[in-house]
Amino acid sequence: MLELYRYNAAMDEVTVNRLLAINREFYDRFGSRFAATRRRLQPGVKEILNSIREDESVLDLGCGNGNFLRELARRGHKAPLLGVDFSLPLLRDAREAPGAKVEFREVDLSRLSIFSRQLSVEDGWNVITMFAALHHIPSNEIRLDILKTVRKLLKDDGRFILSNWQFLNSAKLRARIQAWERVGLTAGDVDEGDYLLDWRGGGEGLRYARQFSARELSALAERAGMKVAASFLSDGASGDLGLYQVWICN
The domain spans of the chain are 2-249
Q: How many other CB atoms sit within 10 Å of the CB of residue 152? A: 13
In 3D space, the residue among 135, 81, 241, 63 whose CA is nearest the CA of residue 146 turns out to be: 135
* DSSP state letters, 112-168: HHHHHHHH--TT-EEEEEEES-GGG---HHHHHHHHHHHHHHEEEEEEEEEEEE-GG
- Phi, psi (rounded to 5 degrees) for 92: -60, -40
Q: Cα(119)–Cα(124) distance, rounded to whole angstroms?
A: 10
pLDDT at 94: 85
Q: Which helix (H) or strand (E) holds 94?
A: helix 88-96
In DSSP terms, 130 is beta-bridged to 162
pLDDT at 3: 40
Burial class (CB in 10 A: 0-12, 13-18, 19+), 134: buried
In contact, 152 and 188? CB cutoff 8 Å: no
Give the type of residue at 220.
L
Per-residue pLDDT of the chain (250 residues; tens, 9 = 90+): 334 455 666 689 999 999 999 999 998 888 766 666 666 899 999 999 999 999 999 999 999 889 999 999 999 999 999 999 998 888 888 887 655 579 999 999 999 999 999 999 999 999 999 999 999 999 999 999 999 999 999 999 999 999 999 999 999 999 999 999 999 999 999 999 999 999 887 778 999 999 999 999 999 999 999 999 999 999 999 999 999 999 999 8
Q: How many other CB atoms sit within 10 Å of the CB of residue 206? A: 16
In contact, 242 and 164? CB cutoff 8 Å: yes
pLDDT at 39: 65
Compute the residue count for the chain.
Answer: 250
Cα dihedral 182, 183, 185, 189 sign: negative
Domain 2-249 coded CATH 3.40.50.300: no
pLDDT at 28: 85
pLDDT at 151: 98
* DSSP state letters, 5-74: S---TT--HHHHHHHHHHHHHHHHHHHHHHHHT--SPPHHHHHHHTTS-TTS-EEEET-TT-HHHHHHHH
- Residue 120 CB partners (closer than 8 Å, separation 6+): 153
